[in-house]
Structure 1
Amino acid sequence: MTDPLLFCLSVAIILATPGPTNTLLATSGATIGWRASLPLVPAELAGYLIAILVIGILLHPILTAWPDIGTGLSIVVGLYLAWIAWKLWQSGGVVHETGQVISPRRLFIATLLNPKALVFAHGIVPLADPAAVLYLAGFSTILILTGFGWISLGAMAGGTAGAARRPRLVPRFGAAVLSIFSVIMIGSPLIGLI
């Protein structure tokens, strides 16, 4: 059985680490505020849970047998992040009909493809443990708190940076950060192939 304290600490550290999903949460918080960004947290939770279960139960044997599929997936994820960055850059802070710069659907897909899900599925969440449901519940609780934290951090940064006076600044900064993650996701497997 996995040590629950070590599990909680590992989940909290990985979820708190900057990445594509956290960048989108913070960008939304900075652009439209804490309260309006709250619908993104259930989208994040659904994305991670589905990814962890699919990767941990269904894809693990395939990825183990054919590692090149993992390389291809990494490139696809990088391209998707580049597309999100482009859309975010183009939006320039314009709030869409949903009242959000970043839709829950877009955040869900970004989270579903987040490389952190691989780490959770392969090394953190003990899906074979009889108490797997309890670990998933603990994961969900930590994720919700961390998601609120990233949105709050973005809302505070947006207020400090004067996002209301310069609405294009925050989404474009978020797009630049996503572009960096995109280059890493695409470049890492390609460098390994050389």
Structure 2
Amino acid sequence: MLSVGGSIFYRPKDKQVHADNARMNFHTGNVGDHIALLKVYSSWKETNYSTQWCYENYIQVRSMKRARDIRDQLEGLLERVEIEISSNQNELDSVRKSIVAGFFPHTAKLQKNGSYRTVKHPQTVHIHPNSGLSQVLPRWVVYHELVLTSKEYMRQVTELKPEWLIELAPHYYQRKDVEDDASKKMPKGAGKAAI
């Protein structure tokens, strides 16, 4: 889904509110963008890959078919090397940890002014306005990519627990990198962990 992630949802000019509401339905519970994409794919699969479902949810059919093709290729590779395939979407921490394990260099910590600071190569970044977490502002996040428009924005953002960085990437992070000042004052309503 990340390979086609920037082009999953579409937003017709005459139905922007409907499209935004449909997109946010996948973000219930402040799950983060990666989990929302997983929900999109799983919901589409439950409808037997319905084209109509995609139209009703303002989702690009072609992008979803491409995601299914990539998933099928990955599944074939796993079978070829005899790795057992298992799935449990209800284990969100396990899913988040796997995202952190893959994208550990792309982490950022919330600052007092509501922006974020990347951890290893410090620069100021912001959560993209289209993210399901743009109004939540978790203390720690992992992101898929940075895009530069009027500001440097993180796209495809998911909340993480800082201790996961030490657990999953001890070769990259030290304790001092992930010290979390939980008592530090944050913007009103920001930094409240959903996990």
TM band (smaller chain): under 0.3
Q: TM-score, normalised by structure 1?
A: 0.27
The alignment's TM-score, normalised by the length of structure 2, stands at 0.27
Which is richer in helix?
Answer: 1
The structure that is strand-richer by fraction is 2
